[in-house]
A = this chain, B = another copy of it.
Amino acid sequence: MTAVAAAARGNGRLQDVLAAAVDTFSSKGYRATSMRDIADAVGLSKPALYYYVTSKEELLVQLYEHVLDANLAAARRIAADTEDPMTALRSVLVDRIRYTCENRRLLQIFFEEEAELPARLTRKVRNQRRRYEDALIELLARAAERGEARLDAPPRLVVNSLLGAANWTYKWYDAAGPLSPTALGETLADILLRMVREPS
């Protein structure tokens, strides 16, 4: 079940609309999608759809906020609940890869339609992304203090490399292949963390 569909069980029709927006943006492209297409996909009349959202742009904004909030909340929860910073860093990467592979179409929109966002949200997206990177940089710094990670390269470059490799799974993860999203996350996290682990 996708993240948006899972949320739909709690929030009713608006979440059905968001799930239909993911389907439609993903198959037709954001620009080519009309509110009529989304109304048809969710089984609403066009006036009824406007009761839930005012525009296609608002739908895109809601999808972005959903992804940003879900990922930042997960990273902060893991960081708060896990005493060992290297273990926390690994859990954040596993979770991020699992989430990405389970929601590939949503993440494709998220990664590829950023230019379509209204200007007022561009800054918010950038700030939220930076807060997410900062959470990982802090884990890295805590691991370095304990002698478990090396900090011999600019930490933002290292974090961008970890996240780039994790994010890229939206392009190549094969749901029909041998690894579940979580298993792929665990395998990749162990490989990726070699970039930062202090050799023992």
Contact = CB atoms under 8 A, between A and B. Distances in A.
B158 A169 contact: no
A168 B192 CA distance: 15
Determine which residue in A31, A165, A172 has the highest number of CB atoms from chain B within 10 A of its CB, and name it: A165
Interface in A170-186: 171-172, 184
A153 B191 contact: yes
A5 interface: no
A20 to B, nearest CB: 19
A136 B167 CA distance: 20
Interface in A112-128: 112, 115-116
A78 interface: no
Q: Majority SS of interface residues in chain A? A: helix
Contacts of A72: none
Contacts of A167: 164, 168
A157 interface: yes
A32 interface: yes
Contact of A163 (B31, B163, B168): B168
A188 B168 contact: no
A187 interface: yes
Determine which residue in A154, A162, A168, A199 has the highest number of CB atoms from chain B within 10 A of its CB, and name it: A168
A160 B166 CA distance: 10
A161 interface: yes
